[in-house]
Amino acid sequence: MTAACRPEELLIGVVAELIGRVRHVAVGALSPIPAAAALLGARHHAGTRVSILNSRRHSFFTDGGRELFDCAGQGRIDAFFLSGGQIDGAGDVNLVAIGDYERPKARFAGSFGSAYLYYVVPKVILFRLEHTTRTLVDRVDFVSAPGTSPPGTFRPGGPHALVTELCVFRFDRAAGRFTLASLHPGVTLDEVRDRTGFAFALPDHVPVTPTPSDADLALLRGPVAADLAETYPAFAADVLGWRATVGETAR
Amino acid sequence: MAAASLTDLDTALEAVADGMLVAIPPDYAGVAMAAARALIRRGVRELRLVCVPQSGLQADLLIGAGAVAEIETAAVTLGEHGPAPRFTAAIRAGRIRIKDATCPAIHAGLQASEKGAPFTAIRGLIGSDLLTVRPDWRVIDNPFGAGGDPVALIPAIRPDVALFHAPMADAHGNVWVGKRRELVTMAHAAAASVVTVERLHDGDLLADETLAAGTLPALYVDHIAVVPNGTWPIRFGDRPTDAAHLAAYAEAAQSEVGFQSYLQRELAR
């Protein structure tokens, strides 16, 4: 009998589904759920390469910090993850500041690689758990990277979907806006409307986000957790129930 | 050629003068933390930091200590320990200038400098507000295209000094960095390099083909000091970050008073 699916496991399942079949998915820092999703996906799609920042096992780079970006610029990375202090309805992300740039009300860490990777990686999955009108806004205060670009701009990449604690949105690049794709179990449409600061498109029928299959949960709690523990031991143990076997360490 | 001078840390750091443009690596590549504390102890001022491409405790500490006038970076963060508190406070109060960047732009600017070229072109960036706050970055239409196709130009970044930590150096002044090639880029791009190392290698790093592939030649290295555990409390190789220390710092540095008492304690070590 499979234990009940945890919220994190639901998210891992849906993100794995969004990544789909790709040659190479890369995961940045502080991203245990995307990392677990990439590892789960790779178990379904033989040949998928997974690069996880700060992992030794899942790293192919030998040319310093530039290589990830050079690799992405050449089209060698198919999927990546970004977050944002603010994300708006046009898919713009803000990783810099709230309020006036010169004297901000809040200052975030900075744009990282967003102002490049968002343009060149075909499937960028936005992952922001906090779903409030504070994070999902009508217009971001600072555009670290825009959701779409005018015709004539080199833009093979961009947002594919936005995953939050409440729901999944798909991004429509032609329309330049999000469409609600599914509601997580127990979440209502009104709740999403109340807690979203931007307008989004609504299909006639909004499905419930599917929970992972028993087979996927078993993979997640078994080999994926053991693999993930190299980089995210606390997450693997606390959420996926990973336990180091005698004589085995996270490394 | 003359070997890089192997000295004690304070002597090596004489190469870092007030007001200099100093390139520092990210936490995963070998952060010269002992050197940063020594610079603060000495009272260095008005540094202009270039984070390659981001920083954490090192930048936060130097900023909190009043040693920084300007920072170019793609991000400053304490990672799982949250935002960098002194960086955040300094930006909000307008105490330091910031040149907000994105990772590949910093790498590209250094690569231009490596080549002795005045600038380089990169993709991305079009439509980003970074272009608004970085008037030194330009946009032109791709001169090799059929018209249109805007592309961003990034000027060469030529630091006065590259400052980092590496596993080992030899008596000839060669430094082994392994696959941490951003350190090589930093050293190539900078006018001078100051390197702290865990230990001295007995032999010539360039004599062995396997070691030579991961070696920064003495040509680019000016000052070396042996400082075991020189990245503490930041991770290095197999040695993890001192998470308890970082958590305590993140808490203490929330206030100016807390930061100052942390700093006094650490500088007195």
Shortest Cα–Cα distance, B130 to chain A (Å): 6
For residue A176, tell me if it sits in a domain: yes
Classify residue A63: in a domain, yes or no. yes
- Domain membership of residue A91 (yes or no) is no
**A86 in reach of chain B (CB within 8 A):** no
- Is A69 within a domain? yes
Residues of B in contact with A117 (CB under 8 A): 124
pTM metric for this prediction? 0.96
ipTM value of the model?
A: 0.96
Q: Write down the pLDDT at residue A250.
A: 47
Domain assignment present for B137: no
**CATH code, domain with B9:** 3.40.1080.10
Closest by CA to B236, choosing from B29, B84, B67, B9, is B29
- Here the tokens at position A165 are 């604690």
d(CA B173, CA B168): 10
Cα distance between residue B189 and residue B216, in whole Å: 13
The Cα–Cα gap between B1 and B16 comes to 23
Backbone phi, psi, residue A121, to 5°: -95, 120
Residues 6+ apart with CB under 8 A from B68: B46, B47, B48, B49, B59, B62, B90, B96
Within an 8 Å CB–CB cutoff, is residue B135 touching chain A?
no
| Residue B126 CB-half CA count within 13 A | 25
CB-based contact B221:B173 (threshold 8 Å):
yes
B223-244: buried (b, 16+ CB within 10 Å) or exposed (e) per residue?
bbbbbeebbbbbbbeeeebeee
A80 found inside a domain: yes
Domain that holds residue A174: 7-86+112-131+145-238
> Cβ distance A242 to A228 under 8 Å?
yes
Distance from CA of A93 to the nearest CA of B (A): 10
Torsion of CA B188, B105, B48, B255, to 10 degrees: -130
Q: Is residue A151 part of a domain?
A: yes
Q: How many structural domains comprise chain A?
A: 1
Interface subset of A 174-233, CB within 8 angstroms of B:
none
Can you list the residues of chain B whose pLDDT is less than 70? 1-4
Nearest to A116 among B52, B124, B133 (CB): B124
Residues 6+ away with beta carbon under 8 Å from B178: B167, B214
CATH number of the domain encompassing residue A42: 3.40.1080.10
**Which of A65, A119, A152 faces B123 most closely, judged by CB atoms?**
A119
* Best CA proximity match to A63, nearest among B115, B156, B29: B29
DSSP string, A169-197: EEEETTTTEEEEEEE-TT--HHHHHHT-S
Place of tokens 């040659």: A23
Spatial distance between the Cα atoms of B198 and B2, rounded to a whole number of angstroms? 22
Looking at the complex, report in whole angstroms how far the Cα of residue B199 sits from the nearest Cα belonging to chain A: 22
Residue pair A201/A179 in contact (Cβ under 8 Å)? The answer is yes
The answer to whether residue B78 sits within a structural domain is: yes
* Residue B264, token pair as written in the block: 């006094």
pLDDT the model gives residue A251: 45
- The predicted structure's pLDDT at residue B3: 58
The DSSP output letter for B80 is G
Q: What percent of chain B has pLDDT over 70?
A: 99
CA A44 to each of CA A17, A219, B141: distance values in angstroms, whole numbers, following the listed order: 10, 10, 43
**Structural domain boundaries, residue B88:** 5-118+156-259
For chain B, the domain total comes to 1
Give A208 to chain B, closest Cα distance, Å: 32
Please, which residues 58-77 of chain A have a Cβ atom closer than 8 Å to chain B? 61-67, 69-70, 73
Domain membership flag for residue A94 = no
Interface test with B, best of A59, A95, A111, A118 (most B CBs within 10 A): A111
Residues 139-168 of A with CB under 8 A from B: 142-146, 149-150, 152-154
Residue A107 has its nearest CB partner, among B79, B92, B183, at B92
pLDDT digits over B53-106, tens only?
Answer: 999 999 999 999 999 999 999 999 999 899 999 999 999 999 999 999 999 999
Residue B43 counted as domain residue: yes
Cβ(A120)–Cβ(A73) below 8 Å? yes
* Both tokens assigned to B41: 């102890």
Residue pointed to by tokens 């008037």 = B135
Average confidence (pLDDT) per 10 residues, chain A, 251 residues? 84 97 94 97 95 90 95 97 97 98 96 98 97 98 98 97 98 98 98 98 97 97 96 94 68 45
